[in-house]
C-alpha cells in the first residue's frame, strides 16, 4: 500500500498535545501541539507540526514517501538509515536486501527545530499491516558509536492520530522521547 493511501485518514488540520522528555528517567513535559497533514506532489505526504519546549515555540516537518523497505545505502542521508524492520543500522552499514519490495516500505526526510537542527535526518522503514508507519535512522552521538532514532506515525481512523519518537542509545533499551496525539480540528 502506498503512503498516501495509508495516511489518508490523517490528512487535514489537527490539534493535540505533545509529551517530551530527554531521558527515560525524566518526567514528560506537556505542550499544546498542532499538525497539518497533506498530500503533496501526488505521491508524498507532509506532516507539519508545532509544539513548545520550556515556553519556546518549536516546529518540524516530515516528508514521507513510499518505497521498498530496502531504500538504499546507509549513507544516503546525514544520519544513516534503517533496515527493513525499521530498526536502526550502524552508520555505513547497508540494510539487508529486500528482493520482494512490494510497496510496504516507507522513506522520509525529517527536520525539527529542536531535535534535528541543523541537519535533516533521512529515515526508512516499513508500513505495517495495521497502517503504522515505522521509520528509523542513526545519527552521530557526542561520543562513541552512533545513536538511533525511530519515528512511528499511527494515522488512526480519521478522528485522531499519533506520532511517537524513540531514542536508541547503544547499550540501553530504546525509550520514547516524544508522544504527540491529535484530534481533528473542528
DSSP output for 17-74: EEEE-SSTTSPPEEEEEEEEEEEETTTEEEEEEEEEETTEEEEEEEEEEEE-S--S-G
Q: pTM to 2 decimals?
A: 0.81
Grid coordinates belonging to 124: 526508512
Q: Which domain holds residue 155?
A: 3-184
The predicted-structure confidence for 24-60, as pLDDT tens digits, reads as follows 899 999 999 999 999 999 999 999 999 999 999 999 9
Instruction: Report residue 43: phi and psi, to 5°.
Output: -115, 10
CATH code of 154's domain: 2.40.128.20
- State residue 69's pLDDT score: 63
| 111, pLDDT greater than 80 | yes
Domain count, the chain: 1
Amino acid at each position: 500500500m502506498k503512503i498516501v493511501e495509508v495516511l489518508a485518514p490523517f490528512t487535514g488540520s489537527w490539534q493535540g498535545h505533545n509529551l517530551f522528555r530527554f531521558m527515560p528517567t525524566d518526567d514528560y513535559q506537556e505542550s499544546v501541539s498542532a499538525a497539518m497533514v497533506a498530500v503533496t506532489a501526488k505521491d508524498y505526504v507532509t506532516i507539519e507540526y508545532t509544539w513548545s519546549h520550556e515556553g519556546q515555540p518549536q516546529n518540524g516537518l516530515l516528508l514521507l514517501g513510499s518505497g521498498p523497505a530496502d531504500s538504499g545505502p546507509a549513507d544516503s542521508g546525514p544520519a544513516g538509515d534503517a533496515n527493513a524492520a525499521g530498526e536502526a543500522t550502524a552508520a555505513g552499514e547497508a540494510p539487508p536486501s529486500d528482493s520482494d519490495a512490494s510497496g510496504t516500505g516507507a522513506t522520509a526526510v525529517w527536520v525539527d527545530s529542536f531535535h534535528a537542527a541543523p541537519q535533516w535526518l533521512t529515515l526508512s522503514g516499513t508500513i505495517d499491516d495495521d497502517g503504522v508507519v515505522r521509520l528509523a535512522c542513526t545519527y552521530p552521538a557526542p561520543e562513541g558509536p552512533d545513536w538511533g532514532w525511530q519515528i512511528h506515525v499511527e494515522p488512526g481512523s480519521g478522528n485522531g492520530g499519533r506520532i511517537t519518537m524513540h531514542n536508541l542509545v547503544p547499550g540501553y533499551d530504546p525509550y520514547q522521547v516524544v508522544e504527540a496525539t491529535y484530534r481533528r480540528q473542528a
